[in-house]
Amino acid sequence: MILREFTVGPLQVRAYILGCEDTKQAIIIDPAGSEGLLAKNIEDLGLDLVAIVNTHGHPDHTCGNEKMKRLTGAPVLMHKADDELFRDPGVVAMFRAWGFEPAPPADDYLRDNQLLKVGNLSFQVLHTPGHSPGSVCLFGNGVLVTGDTLFIDAIGRTDLPGGDYDVLMKSLKSRILPLPDETIVLPGHDYGPKPTDTLGGQKRTNPYLNQLL
């Protein structure tokens, strides 16, 4: 598997390129800044971008969708719950006051337990509401892209529109904890003591996961 990681945008989002070495098909996850650089890396790697995937609808993760789509022609995929919530006029006004314009609507929706095919690779879509109603993680090929659901030694905030701490903890317990300990966690921000860790390591050191064991 081809994996490239980038820190982009005003809020230092972690964007990921995941690609199939055999077919050169790829997806990009949360391209929220430096879209020209990301597109050049995709081109330099000889990849065919088949989708732009958002782990959730917060504008720091979606603000690059329009430009990335224009540069690559790839469709934008997001869970329906967030695509709808973050086009609500009140929510748009709130984030516009923070300096973010709304992203265009998604081209298609991600569904819980969907297998997202990328060449010969498959990634399972895990619906993990709590940080936002439509938050998702992508699991497969030894990695778990968590967006803002799970950070290294922390979890996402739940005080923004649609956030719910109890729902997030339920998502972590039912969807994340059962995954293999050797899974590499790829979070949406580098907020912890190191950029990444195994899920088994997080079960030992993340206080939010500890209480669920």
Domain boundaries, the chain: 2-210
User: Tokens 């993340």 map to which residue?
Assistant: 206
Q: Does residue 192 have a pLDDT over 90?
A: no
Provide the token pair at 152: 């290294």
How large is the average pLDDT for residues 104-117? 96
Overall average pLDDT of the 100-110 stretch = 88
Average pLDDT score over residue span 96-118: 90
Alpha-carbon distance 114 to 61, whole Å? Answer: 21
Give residue 182's identity as a one-letter amino acid code.
E
pLDDT > 90? residue 207: yes
Mean pLDDT rounded to a whole number for the chain = 94
User: Does the pLDDT of residue 43 top 80, yes or no?
Assistant: yes
pLDDT of amino acid 11: 86
Average pLDDT for 148-160: 96
Q: Residue 90: is its pLDDT beyond 90?
A: no
The pLDDT score that the predictor gives to residue 41 is 94
Q: Would you say 135 and 149 are in contact if contact means Cβ atoms under 8 Å apart?
A: yes
- Burial of 211 from C-beta contacts in 10 A (0-12 / 13-18 / 19+): exposed
**Per-residue confidence band for 34, with pLDDT thresholds at 50, 70 and 90:** confident
Per-position b or e across 158-191, b if 16+ CB within 10 A of its CB: beeebbbeebbbebbeebbeebeeebebbbbbbb
Q: Does the pLDDT at position 70 exceed 90?
A: yes
As a whole number, mean pLDDT of residues 138-159 equals: 97
CATH of domain 2-210: 3.60.15.10
- Does 102 have pLDDT greater than 80? no
Mean pLDDT over 174-179 rounds to 98
Dist CA 170 CA 155 (whole Å)? 12
Quote the CA–CA distance of 210 and 186 in Å, as a whole number: 19
Q: So what's the pLDDT on residue 100?
A: 77
How far is residue 126's CA from residue 44's CA, in Å, rounded to a whole number? 30
**Model pTM?**
0.95
Q: How far is CA 161 from the centre of its chain?
A: 18
Handedness of CA 53, 18, 28, 57 (dihedral sign): positive
